[in-house]
Amino acid sequence: MNKRDILWQIYSAKAFYFLGGFGFTSWASLIPFLRQQLQIQDDHLGFLLLAVGLGALIMMMLAGSIAGRLGCRRSLTIAGLAIAVVLNVLCYVPAYAAALVMAVLLGSSLGLLDVVVNINGIFIERKVHKRLMSGLQAMWSLGNFAGAAFFASLLHLGFYWKIVMIAGAVFIGLCVCFFAPHLHEERQASGKGASLVLPKGKIVLIGLVCTIAFLVEGSINDWSGVFMTTEKGIDISQSGLGLTLFTASAFLARLPGDSLTMHFGPRRLLALSLPVAFAGFLGILLISGGPFLFASYILIGVGCANTVPIFYSSLGTQKDMPVADAVAAVSTIGYAGILLAPAVLGFISRAFSLTASFALVTALLVIMSIMAMRLLRGK
Question: Residue 223: pLDDT above 80?
Answer: no
Q: pLDDT higher for 299 or 146?
A: 299
Q: What is the model's pLDDT at position 38?
A: 86
CB atoms inside a 10 Å sphere around CB 18: 24
Q: Tell me what percent of the residues of the chain surpass a pLDDT of 90.
A: 34
Q: Does the pLDDT at position 46 exceed 80?
A: no
pLDDT at 156: 81
> What domains lie within the chain, and their CATH numbers?
3-182 (1.20.1250.20), 202-375 (1.20.1250.20)
Residue 193 pLDDT = 47
**Is the Cβ–Cβ distance between 135 and 121 less than 8 Å?**
no
Between 195 and 16, the more confident residue is 16
**pLDDT value of position 194:** 44
Q: Output the average pLDDT for the chain.
A: 86
Q: Do the Cβ atoms of 191 and 321 come closer than 8 Å?
A: yes
pLDDT of residue 198: 67
> Using an 8 Å Cβ cutoff, are 327 and 315 in contact?
yes
For residues 327 and 199, give the distance between their C-alpha atoms in angstroms, rounded to a whole number: 9
Q: What share of the chain in percent tops pLDDT 70?
A: 94
Torsion of CA 342, 344, 347, 348, to 10 degrees: -110
d(CA 246, CA 98): 36
User: DSSP letter string over 150-193?
Assistant: HHHHHHHTT--HHHHHHHHHHHHHHHHHHHGGGS-------SSS
Stated as kind and residue range, the H or E segment containing 342 is: helix 323-351
pLDDT of residue 289: 81
d(CA 99, CA 239): 31
The residue ranking higher by pLDDT, 92 or 238, is 92
**Is the pLDDT at 100 greater than 60, yes or no?**
yes
Q: What's the pLDDT tens digit per position in 132-147? A: 888 898 998 888 888 8
Whole-angstrom distance, CA of residue 122 vs CA of residue 150 = 30
**pLDDT of the residue at 13:** 93
- Mean pLDDT to the nearest integer, 76-94: 93
Q: Which of 43-47, 145-149, 308-312 has the lowest mean pLDDT?
A: 43-47
Asked if the model's pLDDT at residue 195 lies above 90, the reply is: no
Q: Report the 10 Å Cβ neighbour count for 230.
A: 15
